[in-house]
Amino acid sequence: MPKVDRQLVVYDFDWSMADQDTDRWIFEVLAPDLRRNMKKLKDKIQWTDLVAQTLRDAHKRGITREQIEHALRIMPFHPAMERAVKHLQAAGNTTFLCLSNSNSVFISTILEAKNLQNLFKEIITNPAEWDESGLLKLRRKIDLDGPQHSCTVGCNPNMCKGEELEAFLNRHAPRYNRIIYVGDGTNDFCPVLRLRSQDIVLCRNHRGLQKRIVKEGGLQCQVKYWGGAWEVEEIFSSL
């Protein structure tokens, strides 16, 4: 096997790096009725718009920035995942990229709580910021008024992770010897389809990505399945 001196590890965030879904979790913790409302509206309103709207509803009823940050800090995050990435980072030849449909504030709040704020070279996600009143203002990564992605693999409106990964690779030439993609969701299928035979997808069991891999096929990369973060740690240490 050729020496891998330039390796890229790409992480989806919800249910991949973290053991929960940020957008849903904060409302399950702080306002279950708003969480229920999201379930009712999710087929009618684009997801990022729906989260932004629900954040405004939460703000109107007095839910604070501190409460949301606390909910994020206590969100399930497996200690083995933390160990796995810290060990790999310490080994030195790996670049980390985060590709997530969550948002910049949710992700950075959790990474800081785990002392992982310097892990990723880039975090490609929906932009968010706190305003002075404590409202978290969230926008789509791809503005609805501008050009949309042109992907035909079946990516949802807003982000195509496949196009985002290609753009990252073009920004950071030369090409990596090996890409490892850790993901679980249906929208992780498009970037994984673009991986090469020397690349590996670490696909979480029983979720949307696995279903698409089994049903649609067409992958050139190697596939390794995992359930718990300890298995990702095991795979990383065997590389």
Note the residues at the interface with Zn ion (CB under 5 A).
151, 153, 155, 160, 162, 190
From 12, 23, 69, 164, residue interacting with Mg ion (rule: CB under 5 A): 12
The question of whether 12 is a catalytic residue gets the answer yes
At 28, list the tokens.
């399950």
Residue with tokens 């932009």: 127
Nearer residue to Mg ion within complex by CB, 185 or 191: 185
Q: Letter for the amino acid at 32?
A: P
Nearer residue to Mg ion within complex by CB, 67 or 186: 186
Nearer residue to Mg ion within complex by CB, 69 or 184: 184
Angle at 81 between CA 116 and CA 234, to 5 degrees: 135
Main-chain phi, psi angles of 72, to 5 degrees: -70, -40
From 9, 14, 18, 159, residue interacting with Mg ion (rule: CB under 5 A): 14
Using CB under 5 A as the binding rule, whether residue 23 contacts Mg ion is answered as: no
Measure the CA–CA gap between 21 and 134, rounded to whole angstroms: 22
The question of whether 5 is a catalytic residue gets the answer no
Measure the CA–CA gap between 152 and 65, rounded to whole angstroms: 38
User: Which listed option, Zn ion, Mg ion, none, makes contact with residue 50 (CB within 5 to 8 Å by class)?
Assistant: none
Residue 184 in marked binding region: yes
The single residue of 5, 12, 33, 143 carrying the catalytic annotation is: 12
User: Which listed option, Mg ion, Zn ion, none, makes contact with residue 31 (CB within 5 to 8 Å by class)?
Assistant: none
Structural contact between residues 6 and 97, judged by C-beta atoms closer than 8 angstroms? no
User: Which listed option, Zn ion, Mg ion, none, makes contact with residue 15 (CB within 5 to 8 Å by class)?
Assistant: Mg ion
Main-chain phi, psi angles of 112, to 5 degrees: -65, -40
Nearer residue to Mg ion within complex by CB, 16 or 210: 16
Query: Of all helices (H) and strands (E), which one includes residue 129?
Result: strand 128-130
Query: Of all helices (H) and strands (E), which one includes residue 209?
Result: helix 208-216
From 26, 111, 159, 185, residue interacting with Mg ion (rule: CB under 5 A): 185
Structural contact between residues 13 and 21, judged by C-beta atoms closer than 8 angstroms? no
Minimum CB separation of residue 203 from Mg ion in Å reads 11
Q: Which stretch binds Mg ion (CB under 5 A): 1-9, 136-144, 177-185, 215-223?
A: 177-185
* 53: number of Cβ within 10 Å: 16
Using CB under 5 A as the binding rule, whether residue 184 contacts Mg ion is answered as: yes
Nearest to 156 by CA among 125, 187, 202: 187
Nearer residue to Zn ion within complex by CB, 34 or 165: 165
Residue 5 in marked binding region: no
Active-site annotation, residues: 12, 14
Binding site members: 12, 14, 184
Binding site members for Mg(2+): 12, 14, 184
